[in-house]
Structures are given as C-alpha cells and as structure tokens.
Structure 1
C-alpha cells in the first residue's frame, strides 16, 4: 500500500482516537482537575498574571476536544510513518496484527513505563523550581521505555520457541526498566495534606486517557488496513474491454 494511503489512514485513526480520548478525559479526568483547582484556591489567593483569556468551562469543553483531536491527528501521522518503517521488522503476515503490536509496544514504552516512575500530578502539586529537572527526567524515562520495548523485541528474536521468546522478552524488558528506574532521580513533591484519593483518581484517569488513545488508534488503524472481502454470495463482476 502506498505511503500516502497509509498516512491518510493514520491521520483518520489518530483523529478518532484523539476525540474518544478527549471524551474519556472530559468525563473522568476533568472533575478531578476541578477538585484540585478548588483546593489550590481554598489555600489562599493566587496570582496568575491577570484575567484568564479562556474560561475554565471552555478549556474543559471545546478546548479539551480540540487539543486531544489535534494531538491524536499528529500521533496518527507519526504512527503511520513508524508503521511503514518498521513493518518488515514485525514478523507477522497480518498487517492488522502488526499495527496492533506496534500500538501496544508504543503504549507500554511511551506511556506505562514513564507513568510508573513519574505519575502525573494535578494542578497545585509540584515545585515550580524543579520543573526543568522533572521535564528532562520524564523525557529520559520515555526514551528508556522505548528502549526497553525494543530490547524485549530483540531478545525475543534470539529464541526459537514461544515460551523461550516470551521469557527472553520479559527479561530484556525488565532489565532495561530496572536500570532506568534506579538511575533516574525521584521527585516526591506531593504535600502531605493533599487528598490521597483525589491524587490516585487523577492519576488513574490520566493513564486511562492514554490507554483509550493508543488502544483506539491501534484498533482503528488495524481495521482500516484490513481489506474488505466480497460476500460469498455476491456475483462476480467482470470488466470487458
């Protein structure tokens, strides 16, 4: 299939995934953000540099869906390019299975591995003085997460049976993740007074948004790659000159 067609399918799948992820975030994530903002405002007056240009309602509504839609669109394009480059390395004859494998690996490396080390915090949590260090550390965790997934794939190829491939992949993945988590710095900036339940719910909803995004992207892209089959009872159409 030409790259142009793969890219268009990726953009469409990404847009759908972004909008669905936005819907999940609106239903399950925004209430926790509102609660965190309320706690911040109750703690005392805060100066944010004048009036807000966009109201909170607009941010959590139209703004949220616009942001996740554009984000999904960009990810869909990148995903299609990555699929094109890595398709031959994914040892399967099924294009749909290859797309699902790539989406699952990306979810694990790009989202889950960094989440375990650096789970997101709601507004009002975190020291502004360490934002640069936290950003660099998080990007390092993302890079190492992708390396861990790649190491698992390389380790699996060294074995010739299913259980050996699974064992080698697991060990290769855990080795990189363990080293990464030991080397990367730890940031514990959550105030002791911040509600633990709210923090947990916010982090779970953030992870859920990413899971919805990548799961939908993988499933939709795989579906778009699957060729349509002519019904068995449909008459065959012949074209004559």
Structure 2
C-alpha cells in the first residue's frame, strides 16, 4: 500500500506541474475570451464595480492552487487503488520485471480512463461547450470508460484462454492486440457524439492546445504512477527475497 501511496503522490506532483505550466495558461486565455464576450461595456463596468465592492470569493490564483492540491490528493488515492489492482493482476501483465508490469498497467489505465474518452469526448476550455450537455457528456464519459474496461478484460480473457490451449506467446498477444484494435475502432465509430458548438471568437489553436495539454497532464500522471510504482515494488520484492534467503533453514536431525 505504501508503494501505491508514494507512487500516487509522485504522479500527482508531476500532473499538478503540467496543470500549472501547460493547462492553466490555456484556461486563462479561454476565460479572457469568455469574459470579453459576456456583455456590453456598461454591463461589464457595473459587474466589475460590484465585484470590487463585494470582493472576489475565490481568486484565480486560489483556484489554481486548489486545483493543483486536488490533483495531488486524487492521484495519491488513485495510487492506492493502483497498488491493489496490481497485486491482483500482476501475474497476468506483460513484462518480466516489476517496472515492466507496472508500466503496462499504467498504460492500460491511461488508455481506459484518459485516451479513449479524450478521443470520443475531448475536453473543452471554459469558453466552449453548452452547459445543458454537461450531464450527457458526463454519462458518455463514464460509458466510454466502462466499455474500454470491458474490452480490456475481454482481451486478457482471450489471451488466458489461448494460453490454456497451449498457443504460443507471440500468437496469443497478436490475437489480443487484434481484438483490442477491432473493439476500439468499433467503440470510436459506433459511440454517439455530443454536438459541441464552438464560438467563432475562440481560436482553433487554443482548443487544440488545451486538449493536448489536458491529455498530457493525464499521461504524466499515469506514466509516473506506473513507473514509480514499478520501481518501488521492485525494491520491495528484492528486499523480501533477501530476507527470505537470509533466514536460517531448519536442519534435519
């Protein structure tokens, strides 16, 4: 459990760094566009005067710090769940070392929880998107994750079934990859899209940069999580092996 918590904390710090350096500047740019189109000059002047008199409840700096802290906490909790899942499926993961197996699980997690939803329901900056479709997008996001997890389980079930039949390792993984590719393409093609109206004031480059940086933030989190957990798990495994080897064996009388 400590390996998962430590790996999660490291993943959260790296993800928070990407959030502050790459994602937040795009959010600020989108907010500036949104505020510039939120009404006439008179209305904006009155709103600014009211905000000045009453004081801002939460500043952008506080939002950014709060977001970074939240990312670290969530990643630490994710690390605990990652360690539990890894302990249960370790023997089924590809790789000959703890690092290799842990990174493989991290790649699977990134694919299921970040990449697949991003390809079907890409993230949008604050100035883009209809608030009325939030529930629809959330339900779609969760459904994509569920379908991806089911597909991943099916791939491993196929590989395990072929292994019991004595099929070679290369053939098993080729068959598993083919099933994964076909299933992923089917999900991408058949999943219903949510129409997103993009205001003409928002540059396409800003939307693209926001989506790429958001996906990069998740990639940093999952990548560091898998790598650091693998290193820590490898050291723990080595330490336990040495302790077992150092124990005196009972001598038969």
Instruction: Please classify the TM superposition score into its range, dividing by the shorter chain length.
Output: 0.7 to 0.9
Within a 5 Å distance, the mapping from 1:32-71 to structure 2 comes to: 32-45=26-39, 52-60=56-64, 62-71=65-74
User: Does structure 2 conserve the Cα–Cα contact (< 8 Å) formed by 1:109 and 1:148?
Assistant: no
Q: Tell which has more relative contact order, 1 or 2 (C-alpha 8 A, sep 6+).
A: 2
Q: CA deviation at 1:213?
A: 0.2
Q: Which residue of 1 aligns with 2:218?
A: 210
- Deviation string 1:47-74 (CA, Å, 9 cap, x unpaired) is 8xx86422101212x2132111101111
**TM-score of the aligned structures, taking structure 1 as reference length:** 0.83
- Deviation string 1:74-93 (CA, Å, 9 cap, x unpaired) is 11011011112222333655
Question: More displaced, 172-181 or 79-88?
Answer: 172-181
User: Does structure 1 conserve the Cα–Cα contact (< 8 Å) formed by 2:130 and 2:197?
Assistant: no
Report which of the two structures shows the higher radius of gyration computed on alpha carbons: 2
Q: Which residue of 1 aligns with 2:174?
A: 167
Q: Cα RMSD between the aligned structures?
A: 2.5
- Deviation string 1:162-201 (CA, Å, 9 cap, x unpaired) is 5423431222112322332334221131325121100000
Q: CA deviation at 1:121?
A: 0.5
Residue in structure 2 matching 1:31, options 12, 25, 32: 25
Q: Which residue of 2 aligns with 1:129?
A: 132
**TM-score of the aligned structures, taking structure 2 as reference length:** 0.80
Task: Please state whether the residue corresponding to 2:235 is helix, strand or coil.
Answer: coil
User: Does structure 1 conserve the Cα–Cα contact (< 8 Å) formed by 2:98 and 2:231?
Assistant: no
State the distance in 1 between where 2:174 and 2:77 align. Answer: 35
- The count of corresponding residues between Structure 1 and Structure 2 is 224
Q: CA deviation at 1:161?
A: 3.5
Task: Give the structure with the higher percent helix.
Answer: 2
- Deviation string 1:26-47 (CA, Å, 9 cap, x unpaired) is 1111110000001100112488
State the distance in 1 between where 2:173 and 2:156 align. Answer: 10
